[in-house]
Amino acid sequence: MRRDLAVRAALERRLITPDHPVAALLDLDGVREAATALHSAFAEVTAPGQRVLHTFAVKAASLVPVLRLLDGFGIGCEVASPGELALARAAGLAADRIVLDSPAKTEAELREALALGIALNADSAQELARLDALIADEPTSAPPLGLRINPQLGGGTIDAMSTATPTAKFGVGLRDPGAREWVVRAFIDRPWLTRLHCHVGSQGMALERMAAGVRALYELAEEINAAAGTRRVDTLDIGGGLPVDFASDESAPAFAEYARLLRATVPGLFDGRYGLVTEFGRALLAKSGLVLARVEYTKTTGGRPIAITHAGAQVAVRTVFAPASWPLRVAAYDATGAPKRGPAVRQDVAGPCCFAGDLVARDRALPALEPGDLVALLDTGAYYVTTPFGYNALPRPGIYGYHAEEATPTTFTTLRRPQTLSELVQEYGGDC
């Protein structure tokens, strides 16, 4: 397996050492395979010549080299903050390959997006009113502008990830009294409003519900265009969302499965009349990443074996604070980087942070871990090491991309240098 080759090579190349006891690895071939799978899934269902812009939700892995790599694979950026926009621009993305979403865009952000020609989706009536004022000056040069709606179809199994509940904070609630009529009117009154957007969720969300959200979006577009007597809505931004299987090495559900379900649920989406934008995040990256950490000590307390490692809440915040929703597989390696053998022992895998709940796995059956061994938190290419928790002033670990093949040496490329202690001191006000 490529990741076993990479773990061993990371040790040999001293990317992980007693002084740098945690690092993250990203399988760049895995990312390319995911990008290819996304392109072919939609190529299979779209009409010849239909415009499709796939974007990557930058929050899932906010690393400039990763955004550049994905751009090279034909995948743009969905950004949701000035910082994410700066990362996309630093990666060299053209303005027409970036989409700006966020429920809290400041007036300055809106101005900047308009000036740069970056498509954006307004999240609320108030944001639309701000755009009215900004666009009154220069109506013809505006980039594509859309409105995010919440189809209010209900949630999934993880509340915090459910963006289409009746009271979710995103978009205009389409089922609220008078909302549908208001949205139709908003488009009729604004010739520059040409896109509709929704993002129903992903982790913990049934594909059928996501597809139902896209159908609601499509039906609304048809209604607006009929009422406007023209093709006012020309592009549907169907958002992201594809859950990741954290329990096996499968990339399931596959992009192809979702694309076919969309075609079955919303055939009109694929007859070529609408351009499409997608915003997948975790499904492009999660399976390709791992966090690798040294076991520093082991102990047994109250009869429970515990391995104290260097990967905890600082790199796995969701797993530590909401373990039932975000369980991770842990792979054990010995000090030479070989997969660890031996009888399974139920043990806790703990992190370095100073609070008792800092565990990435509880009572998990693994070969008995020893100091100097390594643990790998699997499927952590999205929303883990790039979404850190600044507890205990732990430095941000290095992140390395790799190419691994059986017969040739594994090669690494640095995606983010490990943070030095002096950089850390700056981050924590050392220059104030």
The residue among 289, 294, 377 whose CA lies nearest residue 328 is 377
Please spell the DSSP secondary structure of 279-314, one letter per residue.
Answer: EE-HHHHGGGEEEEEEEEEEEEETTEEEEEES-STT
- Choose which of 151, 213, 281, 401 interacts with ligand PLP (CB under 6 A): 281
Based on CB atoms, which residue is closest to ligand PLP, 199 or 340? 199
Spatial distance between the Cα atoms of 124 and 105, rounded to a whole number of angstroms: 10
Is residue 150 involved in binding ligand PLP (CB under 6 A)? Answer: no
Please choose, out of 6-14, 256-264, 278-286, 389-397, the segment that lies near ligand PLP by the rule CB under 6 A: 278-286
CB 182 within 8 A of CB 174: no
Q: How far is the CB of 198 from ligand PLP (least distance, A)?
A: 9
| 282: contact with ligand PLP by CB under 6 A | yes
| 53, 131, 164, 283: residue in contact with ligand PLP (rule CB under 6 A) | 283
- Closer to ligand PLP by Cβ: residue 91 or 293: 91
Nearest approach, Cβ of 213 to ligand PLP (angstroms)?
12
The binder of ligand PLP chosen from 60, 262, 315, 359 (CB under 6 A): 60
- Nearest Cα to Cα of residue 97 among 279, 283, 269: 279
Nearer to ligand PLP, 381 or 398 (CB): 381
Residue 354 beta carbon to ligand PLP: minimum distance, rounded to whole angstroms: 30
- The single residue of 77, 198, 353, 354 carrying the catalytic annotation is 354
153: nearest Cα among 135, 137, 171: 171
Whether the CB-CB separation of 184 and 171 falls below 8 Å is answered with: no
Question: Which residue lies nearer to ligand PLP by CB, 9 or 328?
Answer: 328
Question: In one letter, which amino acid is 216?
Answer: A
C-alpha to C-alpha distance for 397 and 165, rounded to whole angstroms: 36
Chosen residue from 54, 59, 105, 215 binding ligand PLP by CB under 6 A: 59
Q: Closest Cα partner for 261 from 209, 214, 221, 208? A: 208
Binding residues for ligand PLP, total number by CB under 6 A: 16
Query: Which of 240, 337, 352, 381 touches ligand PLP (CB under 6 A)?
Result: 240
* CA–CA separation, 42 and 236 (whole Å): 14
Q: Using the minimum distance from each CB to ligand PLP, give the nearer residue, 59 or 364.
A: 59
Beta strands 172-173 and 275-280 are unpaired
Q: Which residue minimizes CB distance to ligand PLP? A: 281
Whole-angstrom Cα distance, residue 235 to residue 214?
12
Examine the residue annotation and report whether 77 is marked as an active-site residue of this protein: no
CB closer to ligand PLP, 150 vs 309: 150
Tokens of 333: 């390696």
CA distance 295 to 211: 43
From 150, 152, 202, 386, residue interacting with ligand PLP (rule: CB under 6 A): 202
Q: Which is nearer to ligand PLP, 174 or 283 (CB)?
A: 283
By CB under 6 A, residue 380 contacts ligand PLP: no
Q: Which stretch binds ligand PLP (CB under 6 A): 3-11, 276-284, 292-300, 368-376?
A: 276-284
List 21, 143, 144, 239, residue binding ligand PLP (CB under 6 A): 239
Q: Per CB under 6 A, does 195 bind ligand PLP?
A: no
Task: Tell me the H-state helices in 190-250.
Answer: 207-228
Report the site for ligand PLP in 66-105 (rule: CB under 6 A).
78, 101
E strand or H helix at 258, and its extent? helix 255-265
Contact between 38 and ligand PLP per CB under 6 A: no
Residue 166: asked if its preceding bond is cis (omega within 30°), the reply is no
> Any contact of residue 199 with ligand PLP (CB under 6 A)?
yes
SS3 366: strand
Contact 247, 326 (CB under 8 A): no
419 in Cβ contact with 23 (< 8 Å) = no
The site for ligand PLP (CB under 6 A) is made up of: 57, 59-60, 78, 101, 199, 202, 239-242, 279-283
Q: Which residue numbers are catalytic?
A: 354
